[in-house]
Amino acid sequence: MKFKVKITEVLSRVIVVEADSKEEALNKVSDMYNSEEIVLDYSDFNDDVKIEIICENNESPKTYN
């Protein structure tokens, strides 16, 4: 039998920016990320790994950590 298994790793980093509003802060960081001023790498790995079976029918995915 063959199974599809999905592995997801999460990278994250907190960025501090000066802004007049939450929206402006989000836009600034989004622009920085999109222009590759911010590039997440192995040092941003936060040990959040999810491994799950991808179901072919309407079953819920089975997750294993």
The total domain count for the chain is 1
The predicted pLDDT at position 59 comes to 66
Q: pLDDT for 5-16, tens place per residue? A: 999 999 999 999
Range of the domain at 9: 4-64
Alpha-carbon Rg for the chain, nearest whole angstrom, is 17
Rounded CA-CA distance 3/52 in Å is 10
Helix (H, G, I), strand (E, B) or coil at 19: coil
Average pLDDT, stretch 24-46? 97
50 pLDDT tier (thresholds 50, 70, 90): very high
Is a pLDDT exceeding 70 seen at residue 65? Answer: no
pTM of the model: 0.69
